[in-house]
Amino acid sequence: MPTGKGIAKRMERLDASGIRRVFDLAASLADPISLAIGQPDFDVPEPAKAEAIAAIRRGDNKYTVTQGTAELRAAVAAACAEEFGWEDQRPFLITCGVSGALMLAFLVLVDPGDEVILLDPYFVMYEHLTNLTGGVVVTVDTYPSFDPEPAKIESAITERTRMLVINSPCNPSGRVYSADELKAIAEVAARHELLVVSDEIYDLFCYDQPFASIASFYDNTLLMRGFSKSYAMTGWRMGWCTGPAEIIEKMTMLQQYSFVCAPSMAQAAGVVALKCDMSAQREAYRRKRDMVYEALREPFGLIKPGGAFYAFVPAPEGVTATQFVERAIANNVLIIPGKVFSRRDTHFRVSYATSDEKLARGLEILVRLAR
Ligand code: PLP
């Protein structure tokens, strides 16, 4: 029988009102131009699809070991050895997307009252997971350039700080941190023996400079990457994580009692995906980024985003971003108000992960509204 207790208290700390309002407004549109979507518009590479199908046919349909198949972990380790020069036996955990890795990491690391530093604007899940685990979000404002300023980060650190979360290329700003910027963050973190969680899910989508990871400079990094964006496998739920052995060990234990394992056929396909050349897709998205920048730089004062597939655009003077988004939706273009990712309501997020034709039509309407 029900106890009458209802929903657990921790759920009161979650709030989805910002994004719900957008969906409510959008529900009235018959055929909206959506510049709101956080997933690639290309499909999974053919060899990876074929391998997933073959894996199902040959019976790879059972639980795998919790940490992920030996083949996929070896493939990820080999890719890391090439990128970082790591020769040690690091632990790797295959997760159900980067979301799965984040969920495990927050549960393993954050106690009630612990502070989690986020660079504002930030990917929404970090805020919700902090709240869910009883932590306290401490934001470092990075507007208007979205530069990760080391002095500001350092001044946000207190005795209760548990970790700093960084995300480059960034959702929603599209900002990419240079190697020098990451080194400066690493120096601050090292001075305070601070764990850095580095969400590198958009590592493929880096347009103007080589991608750099803080894991190259700083060992106390919990590094997370995914297959969702690079290989368009959003529905296959695949990611991976590496970092300090003790943390990975606890995350693995918790995965055993929660997700159990990432999908077996997706793990088989992941081995193949890692060998696929995605440079054509990156080039296509670079071109779309250029389209967005060319259209929005002057009427909106957009700073050129260097990566991911988002632009974070200042709303025109005199209106809040929420008001501008409502106006855009009334004109059939779906965008996301920056408030969803931020303490501020000054910007809106445009996703250019869509066809050139839809993107051009959407941009034209946004430019008209700005004028
Ligand atoms: N991290 C960032 C910055 C994201 O934008 C997303 C998805 O939008 C995720 C993590 C979650 O990705 P997944 O769980 O599909 O790997």
**What's the gap in Å between 14 CA and the centre of ligand 1?**
18
Q: Quick check: CB of 316 below 6 Å from ligand 1?
A: no
Whether residues 28 and 116 share a domain: the answer is no
How far, CA to CA in Å, does 147 sit from each of 114, 127, 142, 168, 352? 25, 20, 6, 11, 22
Name residue 229's amino acid.
K
Separation of alpha carbons 37 and 236, rounded Å:
17
Percent of residues, the chain, with pLDDT higher than 70: 99
Q: Quick check: CB of 325 below 6 Å from ligand 1?
A: no
Q: Quick check: CB of 305 below 6 Å from ligand 1?
A: no
Residue nearest to atom 8 of ligand 1 (CA): 38
**What's the gap in Å between 100 CA and the centre of ligand 1?**
9
141 neighbors 155 (Cβ within 8 angstroms): no
- What is the reported pLDDT for 24? 81
Q: Quick check: CB of 38 below 6 Å from ligand 1?
A: yes
Indicate if the pLDDT at residue 22 is higher than 70.
Answer: yes
Q: Which of 39, 126, 201 to mutate to test the pocket of ligand 1 (most atoms within 8 A of CB)?
A: 201
**What b/e string do you get for 236-260 counting C-beta neighbours within 10 Å, with b at 16 or more?**
bbbbbbbbeeebbebbbebbeeebe
In a domain, 366, yes or no: yes
Separation of alpha carbons 362 and 32, rounded Å:
9
- What is the reported pLDDT for 162? 98
Whether residues 257 and 339 share a domain: the answer is no
Atom of ligand 1 nearest to the CA of 102: 10
Whether residues 112 and 244 share a domain: the answer is yes
- What is the reported pLDDT for 4? 64
- What is the reported pLDDT for 210? 95
The pLDDT confidence band at residue 2, using thresholds 50, 70 and 90, is: low
Cis peptide before 121 (omega within 30 of 0): yes
- Residue-wise pLDDT for 27-58, tens only, equals 888 889 999 988 999 999 999 999 999 999 99
In a domain, 4, yes or no: no
Atom of ligand 1 nearest to the CA of 39: 8
Indicate if the pLDDT at residue 303 is higher than 70.
Answer: yes
Q: Quick check: CB of 99 below 6 Å from ligand 1?
A: yes
- Residue-wise pLDDT for 157-200, tens only, equals 999 999 999 999 999 999 999 999 999 999 999 999 999 999 99
Look at residues 232, 254, 273 and tell me which one is the last residue of a structural domain.
273
Please provide the average confidence, as pLDDT, over all residues in the chain: 95
Q: Which of 2-6, 169-173, 205-209 has the lowest mean pLDDT?
A: 2-6
**What's the gap in Å between 98 CA and the centre of ligand 1?**
6
**What's the gap in Å between 366 CA and the centre of ligand 1?**
26
Q: Cα–Cα–Cα angle for 322, 328, 329, nearest 5°?
A: 90
Whether residues 95 and 195 share a domain: the answer is yes
Whether residues 55 and 32 share a domain: the answer is no
How far, CA to CA in Å, does 179 sit from each of 85, 186, 212? 16, 10, 5
Percent of residues, the chain, with pLDDT higher than 90: 90
Q: Quick check: CB of 198 below 6 Å from ligand 1?
A: no
Indicate if the pLDDT at residue 213 is higher than 80.
Answer: yes
Q: Residue 20: which residues within 8 A CB-CB, separation 6 or more?
A: none
CATH code of the domain covering residue 314: 3.90.1150.10
Separation of alpha carbons 75 and 89, rounded Å:
13
CATH code of the domain covering residue 234: 3.40.640.10
Q: Is the pTM of this model over 0.85?
A: yes
- Closest by CA to 353, choosing from 167, 168, 204, is 204
Look at residues 211, 244, 273 and tell me which one is the last residue of a structural domain.
273
Q: Which of 37, 171, 175 to mutate to test the pocket of ligand 1 (most atoms within 8 A of CB)?
A: 171
Whether residues 76 and 62 share a domain: the answer is yes
Whether residues 81 and 179 share a domain: the answer is yes
In a domain, 2, yes or no: no
Indicate if the pLDDT at residue 370 is higher than 90.
Answer: yes
Whether residues 269 and 326 share a domain: the answer is no
The pLDDT confidence band at residue 313, using thresholds 50, 70 and 90, is: very high
In a domain, 167, yes or no: yes
Q: Which of 87-91, 161-165, 244-248, 334-338 has the lowest mean pLDDT?
A: 87-91
Indicate if the pLDDT at residue 1 is higher than 60.
Answer: no
206 neighbors 306 (Cβ within 8 angstroms): yes
Number of domains in the chain: 2
In a domain, 56, yes or no: yes
In a domain, 1, yes or no: no
Indicate if the pLDDT at residue 141 is higher than 90.
Answer: yes
In a domain, 195, yes or no: yes
Q: Quick check: CB of 213 below 6 Å from ligand 1?
A: no
Mean pLDDT across 308-318: 97
Whether residues 119 and 218 share a domain: the answer is yes
In a domain, 106, yes or no: yes
How far, CA to CA in Å, does 142 sit from each of 51, 343, 360? 43, 11, 29
- What is the reported pLDDT for 89? 83
Whether residues 213 and 360 share a domain: the answer is no
Whether residues 253 and 123 share a domain: the answer is yes
- Residue-wise pLDDT for 220-275, tens only, equals 999 999 999 999 999 999 999 999 999 999 999 999 999 999 999 999 999 999 99
Query: In which domain, by residue range, is 111 found?
Result: 46-273
How far, CA to CA in Å, does 111 sit from each of 103, 105, 132, 191, 313? 13, 11, 10, 22, 35
Look at residues 223, 247, 273 and tell me which one is the last residue of a structural domain.
273
Mean pLDDT across 304-318: 97
Whether residues 309 and 346 share a domain: the answer is yes
Q: Quick check: CB of 234 below 6 Å from ligand 1?
A: yes
